[in-house]
Amino acid sequence: MPASEVKSISKRMGITTDIRAVDAIALGTSEVYLLDIVNAYSAFPNQGVLNQPFGITKVEDRYGNTITEYDPNLEKKFSEQSQLI
């Protein structure tokens, strides 16, 4: 398969980064965002259907009761002064 066809298919599969259509494309000559790769691979078990990724922050039952909720474990790594640099 020509590199230009691989580039075309990657765009259809949701890869948003610019893929260089070179002969060595199968060796990973272009950088691709991890989220793009995960999203593209998800089309295979979904019978070729590409979905847009989304995050789940809370799960509720049919009565509106919260079953689980995402609570980020935040840890401050920089002082406010160092953020102004």
Distance CA 39, CA 76 (A): 30
| pLDDT interval class at 33 (50, 70, 90) | very high
| pLDDT interval class at 84 (50, 70, 90) | low
Q: 39: which residues sit within 8 A by CB, 6+ positions away?
A: 13, 14, 50, 51, 52, 53
pLDDT at 85: 57
Residue 1, pLDDT above cutoff 80 = yes
Is 73:43 a contact under the CB 8 Å cutoff?
Answer: no
| pLDDT interval class at 75 (50, 70, 90) | confident
pLDDT tens-digit map of 7-29: 999 999 889 988 899 999 888 88
Q: State residue 76 phi and psi, 5-degree precision.
A: -70, 130
